[in-house]
Amino acid sequence: MTICFLMGEYPTDENPINAFTDVLMTEMANQGVNCVVIAPQSRTGRFIHGTKPAPCIREKTAPNGSKITIYSPKYNSYSAKNIFGYNTARLTQRSYEKVVQKEFVRRNIKCDVLYGKFFSLGGLAAARLGDMFGIPAFVDNGESTLNSLDILQRRMVVDRIKKLSGVISVSTENKRKLLESGYVDSDFADKIFVALNSVDEKKFFKMDKIKARKELGFPEDAFIVSFVGHFVERKGVGVLSDVLNSIEDVYSIFVGRGPMVPEVKNTLHCGTVPHEKVYMYLNASDVFVLPTLAEGLCNAILEALACGLPVISSNLPFNYDVLDDSCSILVDPMNKEEIRHAILRIKQDESLKKRLSDGALEKASRFSLKNRIAKILEFINDNI
């Protein structure tokens, strides 16, 4: 089977954004899918972030020897700004779809299925392209919210979703939100398949903490809190920064990038890390903290669990498919005192830390990447 994946930017060594997309492609290829990717790159985004453009064409080789072909044409992004009642996200979506269609035709891509990563950009483009060329189209609904659809033309969104052959939802909560959004009717529920996000156990696993710290040059006897995610308000990086600055004898690791660069005392690392090295930073930590306000189902949390880390995160429905008191402490993500107290509990109670660490490993074992992709492919085959 050949699947053409439509998505935002594909990660490079210099710019490891959206690393989870590469994980998805690699396992799809490992399971026999011929993967072709159209991942347009924003001209304005590259200029703003100062990153090197990705090659227009590149190939990756999966562990089983299968090739993944990635096309990255340039397009103009107009962001998502409200100007006199008009949101420029409509221009961005239109520009993206125009470039995707042109690339699809120019490269003479022949595929059995179109697969959009997220509704915004890739998903809506897949629905349109599928309708034009008579190809079944699916969407991976991993958004933290549906706000990106709300700012587009509603009639267009409803019409596009109707044309989809199916939706893969990364969480039970995402399926509920879609059914209650008004974009689909109740009959559409049969087209929504819940395939919880997963973790690649070959890349994220528990290793000796002292060994990890020695390799990274971190103090061996420190209590270390880690955060992985975009440095934006939604992820809670500002809240966590304030909390950590109020606690003595705690060190921190911040993996990510964004406008809200944390300024925290005793910071051991702050910035991006190649995805294949993130596990080392997690294993050097004592606890993973993510006071996020909205998620689909957070890959970073699953990766932390797979490394045996106790998790402190939000007591909100998007976490309920994964986190419970066997592996985590759930808190109000806006309540700094709750977050502070949770960190101190794990710092001061070694038995609690050990229990949650053991629970994290057990929990992560249920979220196999191989099993998830197999179920998604079965769903696709049943609906084409």
Long-range own/partner contacts, residues 99-104 (CB < 8 A, 24 or more apart): 99/40, 99/73, 99/74, 99/75, 100/6, 100/38, 100/40, 100/125, 100/129, 101/125, 101/128, 101/129, 101/132, 102/73, 103/38, 103/40, 103/71, 103/73, 104/4, 104/38, 104/129, 104/133
pTM, to two decimals: 0.88
Q: What are residue 201's phi and psi, to 5 degrees?
A: -70, -10
- CATH fold of 209-364: Rossmann fold (3.40.50)
- Taking the CA atoms of the chain, what radius of gyration do you get in angstroms? 21
What are the pLDDT digits (tens) for 191-217?
999 999 999 999 999 999 999 999 999
- Confidence tier at 241 by pLDDT (50, 70, 90): very high
Kindly tell me if the per-residue pLDDT of 50 is higher than 90.
Answer: no
- For residues 377 and 31, the answer to whether their CB atoms sit within 8 Å is yes
Query: Euclidean distance between the first and final Cα of the chain, in Å?
Result: 12
- Confidence tier at 352 by pLDDT (50, 70, 90): very high
In terms of CATH, what superfamily is 2-198+369-382?
Answer: Glycogen Phosphorylase B; (3.40.50.2000)
pLDDT at position 235 is 98
Number of alpha helices (DSSP H) and beta strands (DSSP E) in the chain: 14, 18
pLDDT at position 47 is 63
What are the pLDDT digits (tens) for 61-83?
999 999 999 999 999 999 888 89
Query: Which has the closest alpha carbon to 130: 169, 179, 173, 97?
Result: 97
Task: Give the β-pairing of 113-117 and 2-6.
Answer: parallel
Strand partners for 115: 5, 138
pLDDT at position 45 is 66
- Confidence tier at 17 by pLDDT (50, 70, 90): confident
Share of the chain above pLDDT 70, in %: 98
Q: What is the mean pLDDT of residues 11-24?
A: 85
Taking CA atoms, 129 is separated from 22, 74, 150, 187, 381, in Å, by 23, 18, 21, 23, 19
- Confidence tier at 49 by pLDDT (50, 70, 90): low
DSSP 214-245: HHHT--TT--EEEEES-SSGGGTHHHHHHHHT
Q: How many CB atoms lie within 10 A of CB 298?
A: 27
- Confidence tier at 174 by pLDDT (50, 70, 90): very high
- Confidence tier at 283 by pLDDT (50, 70, 90): very high
Taking CA atoms, 214 is separated from 202, 275, 343, in Å, by 22, 20, 24
Burial of 281 (0-12, 13-18, 19+ CB in 10 A): buried
Instruction: Report how far residue 152's alpha carbon sits from residue 89's, in angstroms, rounded to the nearest whole number.
Output: 7
Give the three-state DSSP class for 2. Answer: strand
- Strand stretches in 149-294, DSSP E: 166-169, 192-194, 224-228, 251-255, 267-271, 287-290
Instruction: Report how far residue 379's alpha carbon sits from residue 17's, in angstroms, rounded to the nearest whole number.
Output: 28
pLDDT at position 130 is 98
- For residues 246 and 338, the answer to whether their CB atoms sit within 8 Å is no
Mean pLDDT of all residues belonging to the chain: 95
Kindly tell me if the per-residue pLDDT of 18 is higher than 90.
Answer: no
Q: How many CB atoms lie within 10 A of CB 80?
A: 17
- The two structure tokens encoding residue 259: 């406008």
| Single-letter code of the amino acid located at 339 | I
Instruction: Report how far residue 172's alpha carbon sits from residue 189's, in angstroms, rounded to the nearest whole number.
Output: 12
- Confidence tier at 337 by pLDDT (50, 70, 90): very high
Where are the chain's structural domains?
2-198+369-382, 209-364
What are the pLDDT digits (tens) for 113-161?
999 999 999 999 999 999 999 999 999 999 989 998 999 999 999 999 9
Do 2-198+369-382 and 209-364 agree at the fold level? yes
